[in-house]
């Protein structure tokens, strides 16, 4: 029998998470009444759903992204390189709710 090698799963490192952000205390107030069109998600999201959606938009696994190559003058060329991303940083948060607004790699 051949020895099975353990394959270590690659993990995406996310820098800048907060342990207890303010938005975790929000309670969903989206209406469950089918006749209430004003407060029915997705027409208008409550703060809880909005913050949860932004948190869910962050990737959780390493990914590949194309990077455009620029010439010596800084102009983009037609060439691209695929970069494997294993670490991202939360770059921007809302000051009031700690909602994640942007991340960079």
Provide block-wise average pLDDT over 10 residues at a time, the chain (105 residues).
65 84 80 65 72 86 92 90 91 82 84
Specify the pLDDT at position 11: 86
Which pLDDT score, from 0 to 100, does residue 86 have?
A: 92
pLDDT of amino acid 58:
87
* Per-domain residue ranges of the chain: 13-104
Tallying the residues shown for the chain, one arrives at 105
Strand duo 87-93 + 100-104: pairing: antiparallel
pTM of the model: 0.63
Q: How far apart (Å, rounded) are the C-alpha atoms in residues 41 and 62?
A: 31
pLDDT at position 36 is 67
Backbone angles phi, psi at 43, to 5 degrees: -65, -45
């Amino acid at each position: 029998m051949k020895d099975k090698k353990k394959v270590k799963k690659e993990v995406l490192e996310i820098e800048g998470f907060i342990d207890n952000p303010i938005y975790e205390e929000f309670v969903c107030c989206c209406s469950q009444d089918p006749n209430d069109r004003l407060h029915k998600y997705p027409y208008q999201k409550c703060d809880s759903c909005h913050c949860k959606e932004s948190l869910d938009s962050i990737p959780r696994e390493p990914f590949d992204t194309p990077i455009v190559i620029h010439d010596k003058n800084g102009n983009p060329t037609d060439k691209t390189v695929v970069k494997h991303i294993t670490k991202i940083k939360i770059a921007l948060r809302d000051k009031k709710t700690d909602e994640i607004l942007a991340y960079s790699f």
